[in-house]
Amino acid sequence: MKAVFSVLIDGSDISTRLAPVVTSISVSDKAGMSSDTASIDVDDREGRIVLPRPGASITIMLGFTETGMGVVFRGKVDEVRSRGDRGGGRSITVSAKGVDTQGKAKEPQQKHWDEKSLQDILSEAGRLAGIDDVRVDQSFASIIRKYERMDDESFLSFGERIAAEIGGTFKISDGRAVLAKRNGGTTPGGSPLPTVSAVYGQNLHSWDIAPFLSRPRYKQTRTRYYDREAATWKEVLTETVIEDAEAIASSRFTAADEDEAKQKTESQKADAERGSGAGTVVIEGNIGAQPEGLCVVGGTRAGIDGTYRIDGVQHAYSRGGFITTLSLKQPQGTAGKDDR
pLDDT, residue 30, reads 87
pLDDT, residue 33, reads 60
pLDDT, residue 34, reads 64
Other beta carbons less than 10 A from residue 194's beta carbon: 14
User: What structural domains does the chain harbor?
Assistant: 3-97 (2.30.300.10), 104-181 (3.55.50.30), 195-212+277-332 (2.40.30.150), 220-273 (no CATH)
Run of H or E including 266:
helix 258-274
Residues 6+ apart with CB under 8 A from 183: 167, 270, 273, 274, 292, 309, 330
Other beta carbons less than 10 A from residue 190's beta carbon: 11
Which residues of the chain carry a pLDDT beneath 50?
A: none
CA distance 134 to 173: 11
pLDDT, residue 63, reads 97
Task: Name the burial class of residue 149, with classes exposed (0-12), middle (13-18) and buried (19+) by CB atoms within 10 angstroms of its CB.
Answer: middle
Ordered alpha helix ranges (H), 8-61: 15-18
3-state DSSP helix/strand/coil % of the chain, to nearest 5: 15, 50, 40
Of 225, 253, 249, the C-alpha closest to 238 is 249
- The angle that helices 155-166 and 118-128 make with each other, rounded to 10 degrees, is 160
pLDDT, residue 340, reads 82
Specify which residues 249 forms β-bridges with: 221
Amino acid at residue number 11: G
Of 183, 143, 162, 190, the C-alpha closest to 269 is 183
